[in-house]
């Protein structure tokens, strides 16, 4: 048998496996460095410059001026407020709704695969197409949503044309794409050993007690993952704003990514936009860190 | 017989070889845009034409190339909506075409960034290129520090469009040059029947490109001072103008709400386009669409005279040679013919695409099939009372325009009062202008 040699000494099987592991993971690592880490470091560097994003020769170091300007900008703080409002609403409602759907779809009845596919379909549909359709659904005069509300005697609000209701409208729209979260929670539900429920049945536990004491703890790793991923995603909302509201009416749907996109590509302030982007990165990392800290105390891992 | 399997090592070798091959092929692939023959100059042209108009462009290019066989033209397309964001990306990547479309609001910032550059030397050295024949208000958009950085190809005013069918049904006289804003208001109220989805006025309230001149000028209001260093909206004249339009829509009920317009008709200008509105602002560049899509009889009339004077806004677009162009001579050779009287008449005038930036080429548009009967009123406006206004000379122009547009939208939605809108515009736009100076 021929063995691979390295420096004249035969490698152990474990070392060979290790080398093959690094060989396979290298493309992803290269992507991580060049397409994620590199741009983040570049954004950090550019955040200390006055640069339009056009000519590299025009880059000028200005220290923390961009950050001072950002924290003094009312529109920046409004963007933060709007983003946090949207994130809290979409993550909370989205997770609840995804869990509800997952529980509903966690049944062994004929045709359940069809329903699982139907609820997942919006997730594979182009965001722009969904945004255009929801522009019509949310139309205050002829939209489906207000039509449905009208059937039960409620006079629907202006939705996308109301500064007070535009963010709630976007939160409602975000529920349309909870398919991936639903699938993850469904997989988590199906991973819960039935023996636990049987034992609970024997002890006379009611349905809610089983859900609270078995389902939720056993599902906590999946729930934790869904919360983290949803939080990160909600802070990056852009396509819906670009297609449906452009930050309006007025500035009522100005969110952080829309704000920094305008600064970078409309007003040609790439340095300032980089500062905003870096702050967004820090905020999201802090939130994820907080979630992991809470998770270490509340998430139950069988192992 | 032993079944042949692929070992892990063989798989890795094959995958690495394939990846390396693709990588190398990418480097060896000829760079896009390099001239196919060494003796031809490659001229790239960044355009935003829709597919329907491209044959016109291609025909012009073919005729021009027949007289300039030493040049090869490469058309680079982006959509009009994305073009203003695409050009800075091209510039950053070093892939700017030689000639690009430049919207009037982007001239100052792009010139400041070195994306486009002065062509004054070409103009000065080419007495046959009659720059004097271009509307001065159009040239003003493309002049930076006294030098031309582009040449406008179209320039049009905003004047009054009206639905002849609705006027006929009501037995009312069409608008004409004697009309004042008060007469517009009376007619709009008389022609409004919201319960039957009919309005006298389109509901527009615009402070953007050309809009400020139309909606404020008649009252003597302006958005900025002449050198565009300060906001000038906080005047009794401007407030009076905004109150007038606001009341026309929300108090007189003569215009649809934004929700009604978008809801019933798919677009904020839907009621006008579908013949449910008696009057609207019709810039010259919207006439081809109306000619094609309007299912009602329509025409245009002079913009009504306001309490102080008759004034409207005008705006346009043009083309520039980029600073990174290595084919500037060829680019000017192309532009001087493209933007000559004959070029404008051929490409934009006679096709009905829009109102050319030259008075000499205007007749070709007025004679085109798509031009309205009253097309001459656009010419009158350009000669007598249309102003480009601002903000277009300041580097803060895009931001100030966004601020104006946001508050105009809120006014149209009746979400803010005129006082609040003016105060907000003054505060935010002043901050944007002061940030430039610091």
Are A267 and B399 inside 8 Å of each other by CB? yes
Q: Which residues pair with B147 in a beta bridge?
A: B144
Q: How confident is the model at residue B38 (pLDDT cuts 50, 70, 90)?
A: low
A55 is a domain residue: no
Confidence at residue B32, expressed as pLDDT on a 0 to 100 scale: 47
A52 is a domain residue: no
> Are A231 and A277 in a shared domain?
yes
Of the candidates B160, B231, B292, B283, the one whose C-alpha atom is nearest the C-alpha of residue B432 is B231
A105 is a domain residue: yes
The residue of B406, B414, B421 whose CB has the most chain A CBs within 10 angstroms, and thus the best one to mutate to test that interface, is B406
Report the residue from A250, A251, A265 with minimal CB separation from B88.
A265
The Cα angle at residue B141 between residues B139 and B142, in degrees rounded to 5:
70
Phi-psi region of A159 (alpha: psi -120 to 50; beta: other; left: phi over 0): left
Query: In whole angstroms, what is the distance from residue B315 CA to residue B378 CA?
Result: 12
Of the candidates B95, B138, B87, B139, the one whose C-alpha atom is nearest the C-alpha of residue B113 is B87
> Are B97 and B226 in a shared domain?
no
Query: In whole angstroms, what is the distance from residue B288 CA to residue B294 CA?
Result: 10
B52: CB partners within 8 A, 6+ apart: none
Report the residue from A139, A248, A251 with minimal CB separation from B262.
A139
Of the candidates A157, A153, A127, A126, the one whose C-alpha atom is nearest the C-alpha of residue A140 is A157
* Mean pLDDT score, B354-366: 90
> SS3 string of B263-277?
HHHCCCCHHHHCCCE
Tell me the pLDDT tens digit for each residue of A279-291: 999 999 999 999 9
* Mean pLDDT score, B90-104: 94
Q: Which domain holds residue A37?
A: 5-46
> Are A124 and A91 in a shared domain?
yes
pTM (2 d.p.):
0.86
Q: Which domain holds residue B269?
A: 157-314+381-437
Low-confidence ranges of chain A (pLDDT < 70): 1-11, 302-303
Q: Which residues pair with B224 in a beta bridge?
A: B231
**Complex prediction ipTM:** 0.83
- For chain A, how many structural domains are there in total? 2
A60 is a domain residue: no
Confidence at residue B374, expressed as pLDDT on a 0 to 100 scale: 94
Which residues numbered 13-32 in A keep a CB inside 8 Å of some CB on B? Answer: 20, 23
> Are B227 and B180 in a shared domain?
yes
Q: How confident is the model at residue B411 (pLDDT cuts 50, 70, 90)?
A: very high
A56 is a domain residue: no
> SS3 string of chain B?
CCCCCCCHHHHHHHHHHHHHHHHHHHHHCCCCCCCCCCCCEEEEEEECCCCCCHHHHHHHHHHHHHHCCCEEEEEEECCHHHHHHHHHHHHHHCCCCCEEEEEHHHHHHHHHCCCECCCHHHHHCCCCCCHHHECHHHHHHCEECCEECCEEEEEEEEEEEEEHHHHHHHCCCCCCCCCEHHHHHHHHHHCCEHHHCEEEECCCCCCCCCHHHHHHHHHCCCCECCCCCCECCCCHHHHHHHHHHHHHHHCCCCCCCHHHHHHHHCCCCHHHHCCCEEEEEEEHHHHHHHHHHCCCCEEEECCCECCCCCCEEEEEEEEEEECCCCCHHHHHHHHHHHCCHHHHHHHHHCCCCCCECEHHHHHHHHCCCCCCHHHHHHHHHHHHCEECCCCCCCCCHHHHHHHHHHHHHHHHCCCCCHHHHHHHHHHHHHHHHHHHHC
The minimum CA-CA distance between B85 and chain A, rounded to whole Å, is 6
Q: How confident is the model at residue B285 (pLDDT cuts 50, 70, 90)?
A: confident
Q: Which residue has the higher pLDDT, B294 or B16?
A: B294
A159 is a domain residue: yes
Residue B134 has pLDDT above 50, yes or no: yes
- For chain B, how many structural domains are there in total? 2
> Are A193 and A150 in a shared domain?
yes
* Mean pLDDT score, B98-126: 93
Q: In percent, how much of chain B has pLDDT > 70?
A: 93
B5 is a domain residue: no
CA distances from A138 to A129, B65, B141, B261 (A): 14, 51, 39, 14
A140 contact residues in B (CB cutoff 8 A): 259, 263
Cβ of A253: how many Cβ atoms within 10 Å?
Answer: 25
Q: In percent, how much of chain B has pLDDT > 90?
A: 67
Tell me the pLDDT tens digit for each residue of B209-253: 889 999 999 999 999 998 889 999 999 999 999 999 999 999 999
Among chain B, residues having any CB pair with chain A shorter than 8 Å are 8, 12, 84-85, 88-89, 91-92, 109, 113-115, 258-260, 262-264, 398-399, 402, 406-407, 409-410, 413, 415-416, 428, 435
> Are B125 and B241 in a shared domain?
no
Q: How confident is the model at residue B185 (pLDDT cuts 50, 70, 90)?
A: very high
* Mean pLDDT score, B34-61: 84
> Are A79 and A222 in a shared domain?
yes
Greatest extent of chain A over all pairs of C-alpha atoms, in Å: 84
CB neighbour class for B21 (10 Å; exposed up to 12, middle 13-18, buried from 19): exposed
Query: In whole angstroms, what is the distance from residue B75 CA to residue B83 CA?
Result: 14
Confidence at residue B80, expressed as pLDDT on a 0 to 100 scale: 84
Confidence at residue A226, expressed as pLDDT on a 0 to 100 scale: 94
B92 contact residues in A (CB cutoff 8 A): 53-55
> Are B165 and B148 in a shared domain?
no
Confidence at residue B258, expressed as pLDDT on a 0 to 100 scale: 77
Are A54 and B409 inside 8 Å of each other by CB? no
Are A265 and B85 inside 8 Å of each other by CB? yes
B7 contact residues in A (CB cutoff 8 A): none
């Amino acid at each position: 048998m021929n063995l691979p040699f390295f420096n004249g000494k035969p490698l152990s099987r474990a070392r060979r496996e290790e080398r093959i592991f690094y060989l396979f993971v290298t493309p992803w690592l290269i992507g991580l460095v060049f397409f994620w880490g590199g741009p983040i470091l570049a954004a950090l560097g550019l955040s200390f410059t006055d640069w339009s994003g056009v000519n590299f020769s025009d880059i000028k170091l200005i220290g923390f001026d961009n950050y001072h300007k950002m924290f003094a900008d009312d529109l920046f703080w409004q963007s933060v407020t709007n983003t946090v409002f949207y994130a809290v609403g979409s993550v909370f409602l989205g997770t609840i709704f995804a869990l509800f759907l997952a529980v509903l779809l966690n049944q062994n009845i004929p045709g359940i695969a069809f329903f699982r596919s139907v609820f997942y379909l919006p997730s594979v549909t182009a965001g722009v197409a969904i945004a255009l359709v929801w522009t019509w659904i949310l139309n205050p005069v002829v939209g489906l949503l207000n039509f449905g509300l009208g059937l039960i005697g409620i006079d629907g609000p202006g939705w996308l044309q109301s500064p007070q209701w535009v963010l709630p409208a976007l939160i409602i729209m975000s529920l349309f794409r909870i398919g991936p979260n639903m699938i993850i929670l469904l997989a988590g539900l199906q991973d819960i050993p039935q023996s636990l429920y049987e034992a609970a049945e024997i002890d006379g536990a009611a349905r809610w007690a089983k859900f609270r004491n078995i389902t939720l703890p056993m599902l906590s790793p999946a729930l934790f993952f869904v919360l983290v991923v949803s939080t990160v995603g909600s802070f990056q909302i852009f396509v819906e704003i670009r297609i449906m509201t452009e930050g309006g009416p007025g500035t009522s749907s100005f969110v952080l990514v829309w704000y920094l996109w305008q600064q970078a590509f409309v007003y040609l302030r790439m340095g300032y936009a980089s500062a905003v982007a870096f702050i967004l990165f820090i905020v999201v990392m802090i939130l994820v860190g907080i979630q992991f800290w809470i998770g270490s105390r509340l998430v139950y891992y069988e192992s | 017989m032993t079944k042949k399997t692929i070992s892990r090592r063989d798989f890795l070798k094959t995958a690495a070889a394939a990846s390396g091959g693709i990588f190398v092929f990418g480097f060896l692939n000829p760079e896009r845009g390099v001239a196919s023959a060494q003796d031809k100059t490659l001229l790239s042209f960044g355009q935003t034409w829709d597919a329907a108009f491209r044959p016109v462009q291609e025909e012009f290019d073919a005729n021009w190339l027949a007289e300039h066989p030493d040049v090869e033209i490469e058309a680079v397309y982006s959509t009009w909506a994305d073009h203003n964001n695409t050009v800075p990306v091209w510039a950053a990547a070093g892939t700017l075409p030689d000639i690009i479309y430049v919207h009037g609001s982007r001239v100052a910032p792009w010139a400041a960034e070195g994306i486009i550059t002065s062509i004054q030397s070409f103009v000065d050295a080419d007495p046959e290129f009659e720059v004097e024949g271009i509307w001065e208000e159009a040239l003003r958009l493309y002049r930076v520090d006294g030098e031309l950085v582009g040449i406008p190809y179209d320039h049009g005013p905003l004047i009054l469009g009206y639905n002849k069918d609705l006027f006929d049904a009501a037995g009312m006289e069409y608008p004409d040059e004697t009309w004042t804003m008060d007469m517009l208001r009376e007619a709009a109220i008389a022609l409004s029947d919201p319960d039957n989805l009919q309005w006298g006025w389109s509901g527009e309230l615009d402070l953007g490109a050309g809009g400020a001149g139309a909606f404020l000028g008649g009252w003597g209001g302006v958005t900025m001072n002449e050198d565009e260093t300060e906001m000038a909206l906080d005047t009794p004249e401007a407030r009076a103008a905004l109150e007038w339009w606001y009341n026309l829509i929300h108090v007189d009920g003569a215009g649809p709400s934004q929700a009604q317009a978008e809801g019933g008709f798919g677009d904020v200008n839907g009621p006008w386009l579908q013949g449910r509105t008696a009057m609207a602002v019709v810039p010259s560049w919207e006439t081809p669409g109306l000619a094609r899509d309007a299912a009602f009889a329509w025409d245009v009339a002079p913009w009504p005279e306001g309490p102080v004077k008759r004034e409207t806004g005008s705006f346009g677009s043009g083309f520039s040679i980029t600073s990174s162009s290595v084919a500037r001579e060829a680019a000017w050779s192309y532009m001087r013919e493209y933007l000559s009287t004959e070029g404008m008449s051929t490409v934009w005038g006679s096709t009905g695409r829009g109102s050319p930036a030259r008075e000499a080429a205007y007749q070709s548009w007025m004679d085109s099939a798509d031009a309205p009967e009253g097309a001459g009123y656009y010419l009158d406006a350009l000669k007598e009372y249309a102003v480009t206004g601002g903000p277009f000379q300041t580097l803060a122009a895009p931001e100030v325009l966004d601020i104006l547009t946001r508050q105009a939208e809120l006014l149209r939605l009746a979400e803010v009062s005129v006082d609040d809108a003016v105060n907000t515009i003054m505060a935010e736009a002043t901050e944007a202008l002061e940030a430039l100076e610091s």
